[in-house]
Amino acid sequence: MERLEHRVAIITGAGSGIGRASARSMAANGMSVVLVGRTAARIESAAEEIRETGGKATALAVDVAQENAFEMMRDRALDAFGRVDVVMNNAAAISTANPHEMPVEEWRRVMEINLFAAVRSNAVFVPHMLKQREGHLVFVASVDGLYGFGFDRLPYAASKAALVQMAEALAIYLRPRGIGVTCFCPGPVDSDIASLRKPFGGPHEIRGPGDFLEGIAAEVAGDAVVQAIRDDQLLLLTHPDPIRQLMVERASDFQAFNDRWIADPHVLFRPDGVED
């Protein structure tokens, strides 16, 4: 989707972090945006921020776990701007615990927000985009979905891995039909996702993806999303070189790769060839 001017995007989880930054970047590139989030004051503030700089934005306070949430988003976009071109599935829930102490109900909650919201989004917007023969879907997954370091947050990691597979399969089906797909797998990004974390059980370690991944600003991530839409880029990484190297090592010898973690799960190793 090379031309973004006059296009319309819906962004869930748009009140802060990557979602808010992506909405700002889209608006700066001439798109009209529908910002979606659970907290009305936060997303209205984000929309007003865009309008104050001359952009076009409207806010919709709704929980993505609500059954008719995506129909509401579609209707708001059509009423406000007359079309839907891009849907960015960014809303997320994260909880942490030792694996045996994670409640089953918490698995259900995280999957409902991180995975099944995207399923419901597809049910609404894929037919819409097929009918108009163009569009772009963005699924915000995570490096947590690319390799298995996150034993402290298994529901989150599993849901993000599922999004990676969903995006890859959808791209095979949709790209020949004029619809682009981007799977965004960010590493550390300066955002408030930590404030969303719900801990369970006893004391437990909070894992990171590796000390070789430095945090980046949310604005950098947001600009990268916009460029990926322009380029019809399927896999978007915030730290492409080290993550690709890590994935090569994982694919080359899965057993040895994981043996490194198992030998000392408290050491965050670097991929071979990545220097201090």
Active site residues: 156
Does residue 276 sit in helix, strand or coil? coil
Where is 28: in which H helix or E strand?
Answer: helix 17-28
* Nearest partner of 63 among 34, 40, 81, 94, judged by Cα: 40
φ and ψ at 275, to 5 degrees? Answer: -90, 160
Alpha-carbon gap, residue 140 to 21, rounded angstroms = 13
Alpha-carbon gap, residue 173 to 77, rounded angstroms = 25
Angle between helix axes 117-132 and 69-81 (nearest 10 degrees) is 40
Largest CA distance in the chain: 56
Does residue 2 sit in helix, strand or coil? coil
Alpha-carbon gap, residue 73 to 53, rounded angstroms = 23
User: Other C-beta atoms within 10 Å of 184: how many?
Assistant: 25
Where is 138: in which H helix or E strand?
Answer: strand 135-140
AA identity, residue 45? S
Cross-strand bridge partners of residue 27: none
